Amino acid sequence: MIYLFYHFGLPKSPRGHSLGKGVIDQSDEGGRIPRNQWGLVRRALASVALKVLDENPGPPPDCTDAGWYQGIVKLIACEDEISAALYKANINKVGEVYPGAKLAVCEAADIPSRPRARVWLPSEPSESVAILSLLTRFNPKLPTDGWKVVKVEKTDRVTMNVVILLNQACLEPFAAQQNRMNYGFDKVQLRIYDTDKLAADNLAACASYEPPSDEEA
């Protein structure tokens, strides 16, 4: 099944691409591809691209990098079904690009989705590592494995809006404490989205989550 990005609210790219695919690492439970490895993936894709084209005579593909879904799954927008099929063939041919990698292409509807939350925090510290440390170290009883600060929206005030990628295990404990948690010597209220389909900004917002650098794991 071909799933269209705009079904979720993600606008088409300027060139009109509309067929959405996700590139995942099947060796990871959440499909996560380390951002600092994507350069290796691009290099591997380019190295076998001509072979894929030779094995599949016809028009060349037209595909565009559409960002990251929840900061962990690469989104690809394809011009048509032929382009989508060729991109999948390209991924299937690259093999183990980085240690343990099992790359695969999935439909947009099948991209693994994790719960996420928005929370207003003091404007300092503003570094994602420091924010995550305050959230995890002051809440040792909460299962915070795999949490990730995926977006920091700074304002001209003394507060900032932060988006956090959670895990399924924390949802029940959060509900028991009314979605509140310690943040240093204060408490903060999180607005939790069980799935991104329930969030007002949907896939478009998830695709816009850009962690600070491609150099980070």
For residue 207, tell me if it sits in a domain: no
Is there a single domain that holds both residue 106 and residue 174? no
Q: Say if residue 48 is in the same domain as residue 104.
A: yes
In the chain, alpha helices (H): 38-55, 81-94, 128-137, 171-176, 202-208
pLDDT in tens, the chain (217 residues): 233 333 333 334 444 446 789 999 999 877 889 989 999 999 999 999 999 999 999 999 999 998 888 778 899 999 999 999 999 999 999 999 999 999 999 987 787 777 889 999 999 999 999 999 999 999 999 999 889 888 899 888 999 999 998 888 999 999 999 999 999 999 999 998 865 443 333 444 444 444 444 445 5
Domain identity same for 9 and 106: yes
Q: Let me know if residue 47 belongs to a domain.
A: yes
Which domain CATH number covers 172?
3.30.70
Determine if the pTM surpasses 0.75: no
Number of folded domains in the chain?
2
Domain encompassing residue 96: 5-110
pLDDT in the model for residue 108: 79
- Could you say which of 83, 110, 137 is where a domain stops? 110
| CA–CA–CA angle 98, 36, 82 (5° rounding) | 70
Residues 96 and 38 in one domain: yes
Residue with tokens 């990251």: 68
Could you tell me if 83 and 179 lie in one domain? no
Q: Which pLDDT does position 148 carry in this prediction? A: 86
Q: Which of 176, 29, 23, 200 is nearest to 114 (CA)?
A: 29
Amino acid occupying residue 169 = A
**CA 154 → CA 81, 151, 163, distances in Å?**
40, 10, 12
Q: Could you tell me if residue 205 is inside a domain?
A: no
Q: Residue 174 falls within a domain, yes or no?
A: yes
pLDDT score at 71: 76
Q: Is residue 203 part of a domain?
A: no
Q: Cα–Cα distances in Å, from 57 out to 52, 86, 90? A: 9, 10, 14
d(C-alpha 115, C-alpha 105), whole Å: 22
